[in-house]
Amino acid sequence: MRGAVVMCLLGWLVCAAEATAQAGPTANVASPVDGTVDAARKAYNEERYADAARLFLQAAQAAPERIELYRDLARARLWARDTAGAVVAYRVYLESAPGAEDRDRVKGELELALSQSGEAPPPEGQPAEAVRALEAARTRAVGGQFEGALGAVDDAVAAGYLGPALGDARRFVAAELARQTEAALERWWRPKDAADAAVLERLAAGWKAHRGRRPLTPVEVQAETTVAGLERLRHADYPAAIDKLGPIAGADPRLRYALALALAHTDRLDEAIASAETAARALADPRPHLLLGLLLNRAGRDGSAALRRGLDLDEH
């Protein structure tokens, strides 16, 4: 491996010289859905039950883990004379909250709704089309089709799915997106491999689609920015790579190394050396040490110790 690593870095440095010459809300945590819930309760208290039902449905679909919203939706629908819709929401609440203190009361409300729904109450269970859409969301996520996966969750909502499984599906897609993001970083880091540009672009599109549906967590922001930074580095857009990787590189020495490469390509040698030094201290890998040595030499400083350390690591 020794010769390959050294030649790769030397070749990179020559290219760089020539170029220079020319990153689920819960009920007690503030979230965007809280405003919708407040508006729904206001409408309910003002006896605008159809408006309340519409807003409670919107909130329940956005935050499906908030079980109390199904009960609130059911009551609003019942008062709005949507008895079939009320039955559906009551059933979801009772299924999702088996230990609820108000279970007996809600069961009584369900019986009332069933009595008002006539001889053909809505069938039990979720719409088959919606169930298939949620299954497709998981399959597509595993296959790396993240925009399609999130679109399938949207299809499930449009088909009438109501319940906590919506949140489970969204979390599954996000977790798979995060897992494949880490896998892409590891592929980028392996000496004889690289993160495929198409994979990075697909992951970046997946994070963008997620961000368009809900706020990302800090961990997800880190993963989104990692993908964006590596994608820009892969396309030799070094200023953009620096903008993305700079704020997050401290969390991962591999990203410090990536940042050092981008900085060196923009002739920001002092910053590149500092980043390479940080990566070299944290990683028992020849590449950051060899890069550091080459950068020190390029800056007119003695990089021999870093080069020797890199070659020693390469031999093992």
Structure tokens at 270: 């002092």
Mean pLDDT along residues 133-151: 96
Residue 57 belongs to some domain of the structure? yes
Q: Does residue 241 surpass a pLDDT of 70?
A: yes
Determine, yes or no, domain membership for 55: yes
Q: What is the mean pLDDT of the chain?
A: 87
Residues 85 and 11 reside in one and the same domain: no
pLDDT of residue 312: 84
**Domain hosting residue 264, numbered range:** 1-23+248-316
What's the confidence (pLDDT) of residue 23? 31
The answer to whether residues 95 and 52 belong to one domain is yes
pLDDT-based confidence at residue 12 (cuts at 50, 70, 90): very low
108 class by beta-carbon count within 10 Å (0-12 exposed, 13-18 middle, 19+ buried): exposed
Mean pLDDT of 164-187: 93
Assess whether 64 and 116 both reside in one domain.
Answer: yes
Tell me, yes or no, whether 301 lies in a domain.
yes
Residues 68 and 17 in one domain: no
Q: What pLDDT, on the 0 to 100 scale, is given for residue 122? A: 85
Does one domain contain both 253 and 279? yes
Confidence of residue 191 (pLDDT cuts 50, 70, 90): low
Residue 314 has pLDDT above 60, yes or no: yes
- Say if 154 falls within a structural domain: no
- pLDDT(166) > 90: yes
Q: Are residues 79 and 119 in the same domain?
A: yes
Q: Are residues 41 and 120 in the same domain?
A: yes
Query: 49: domain CATH number?
Result: 1.25.40.10
Domain boundary among 99, 125, 151: 125
> In terms of domains, do 19 and 76 share one?
no
Count up the domains in the chain and report the number.
2
Residues 90 and 121 in one domain: yes
End of a domain among 80, 110, 125? 125
14 and 46 assigned to the same domain = no
71 lies in a domain? yes
Write the Ramachandran bin of 30: left for phi over 0, alpha for psi from -120 to 50, otherwise beta: beta
Residue 138 lies in a domain: no
Residue 16's pLDDT is what?
Answer: 38
Q: Which of 53-62, 231-240, 303-312 has the lowest mean pLDDT?
A: 303-312
Among the candidates 125, 149, 176, a domain finishes at 125
In a domain, residue 190? The reply is: no
